[in-house]
Amino acid sequence: MDVICDLCGNKDNFKTLLAGVTDNSTAINGEFNIYECLDCSHCFIDPIPANLAEAYVSSYYTHIKASANFKSKLKNTLRKICYSDKYFVKKFISSLVSKYLNEPPRLDHGSLCDVGCGNGQYLSDAEELGWQVYGVDFDPKAVECCIAQNMIVKLGNAENIPFETGQFDVVRLWNVLEHTRSPKRALIEINRVLKPNGYIVIYVPNINSVDFNVFKGHWWNLEIPRHLHHFKPLTLNKYMSQTGFIVRNIMCPGTVSSNISKTIEVLKRNKVGRLVTLTRVFTVIISKIYFRLIKKTYEYDAGISILAQKVGQL
């Protein structure tokens, strides 16, 4: 094993967290291992496929303009209320739901770049809220989809953002950082394109979650081998501090049943029995309710969602 930990630079102090994991979308053949750095706790896969583009099948969600469902319409309505100028309504609704919306602070005429923008759904929603929106995606089909909607979207990735230094008030990185070859390089690049005191909104799956500990290699959010890195709250905070950011808010990472149905599909494909499946699903949901309501923490939830602010130029 000839690897280097992206977070701390360790070259020889690892343990195998999970061995022989296969691609749950069946796009790539072979088995992959997840290693944990014993110096800093960061986790990553090995080997990395030579051609990562092959891991993204033609039906991957970035290729298709999504139609708005009830959940997305409701969320967008609540966003509009929280961003409105009607003070009393805004204050009341915001106190109830703002932490569940995972939005950056409102900035008049602010500029927002969604890195890994996919089909442009979020850009469309953000534009309605008053943001000047821009996007980046590594997938030419996704870029074409956005350009067809008259959006300013360029071909690139989180480690190579084709926009000017200090251009944006906010950069959004939603289900993206785990796809990068070097999260550290990606965050340094995001620091570059942000204005002083700009914000970054991040969501990544949580390998410290109840979901991973119960479902292991069958957990859908592992997304092997598309997810090259796997984060814990501890390691994501370390990444932030090393790349010129400070975490300002820990936000709600989704419902307690987020992506459970997709994990059930993986369990079915692997011929896991119904009773075992139901027992695991019940364990995960009850555990997450316990941690949210009793322990008041998202530390063991399926994902990690944070708002961080740029505090230094690298």
Residue 24: strand pairing partners: none
Of 50, 31, 38, 29, nearest in space to 8 by CA: 38
Which token pair is 296? 């008041």
Each residue of 265-275: pLDDT tens digit?
Answer: 999 999 999 99
| Predicted pLDDT of residue 69 | 66
* C-beta contacts of 63-68 below 8 A and 24+ residues apart: 63/119, 63/139, 63/141, 63/142, 63/145, 64/119, 64/145, 65/119, 65/120, 65/121, 65/145, 65/149, 66/119, 66/121, 68/121
| Predicted pLDDT of residue 62 | 53
Give the pLDDT band (50/70/90) at residue 91.
low
Q: With 90 as the cut, is the pLDDT of residue 176 above it?
A: yes
Q: Which helix (H) or strand (E) holds 286?
A: helix 274-293
User: Is 275 within a domain?
Assistant: no
| Predicted pLDDT of residue 309 | 97
Distance CA 270, CA 292 (A): 30
* Residues 32, 22 contacting (CB under 8 angstroms): yes
| Predicted pLDDT of residue 199 | 97
Range with lowest mean pLDDT among 86-90, 151-155, 173-177, 189-193: 86-90
CA dihedral 83, 166, 251, 75 (to 10 degrees): 40
The sign of the CA dihedral 100, 105, 111, 114 is negative
User: Is 168 within a domain?
Assistant: yes
Q: On the CB side of 298, how many CA atoms lie within 13 Å of its CA?
A: 20
Q: With 80 as the cut, is the pLDDT of residue 75 above it?
A: no
| Predicted pLDDT of residue 90 | 59
* Residues 168, 158 contacting (CB under 8 angstroms): no
Q: With 90 as the cut, is the pLDDT of residue 96 above it?
A: no
**Could you tell me the pTM of the whole model?**
0.91
Mean of the per-residue pLDDT values for the chain?
Answer: 90
Q: With 60 as the cut, is the pLDDT of residue 116 above it?
A: yes
User: Is 281 within a domain?
Assistant: no
User: Which is more confidently placed, 5 or 101?
Assistant: 5
| Predicted pLDDT of residue 223 | 92
- Strand stretches in the chain, DSSP E: 14-21, 32-37, 43-46, 111-115, 132-137, 153-155, 168-174, 194-205, 229-230, 245-251, 303-310
Other Cβ atoms within 10 Å of 286 Cβ, number: 12
User: Is 173 within a domain?
Assistant: yes
Which token pair is 64? 């298709």
| Predicted pLDDT of residue 28 | 80
User: What is the percent of the chain with per-residue pLDDT over 90, rounded to a whole number?
Assistant: 70
| Predicted pLDDT of residue 61 | 53
| Predicted pLDDT of residue 97 | 74
User: Is 261 within a domain?
Assistant: no
**Tally of structural domains, the chain:** 1
Residue 233: which domain range?
52-254+303-310
User: Is 18 within a domain?
Assistant: no
Q: With 60 as the cut, is the pLDDT of residue 63 above it?
A: no
Each residue of 181-203: pLDDT tens digit?
Answer: 999 999 999 999 999 999 999 99
Give the pLDDT band (50/70/90) at residue 65.
low
| Predicted pLDDT of residue 103 | 86
User: Which is more confidently placed, 163 or 84?
Assistant: 163
| Predicted pLDDT of residue 240 | 98
Which token pair is 144? 């074409």
The sign of the CA dihedral 162, 166, 168, 172 is positive
CATH number at residue 114: 3.40.50.150
User: Is 123 within a domain?
Assistant: yes
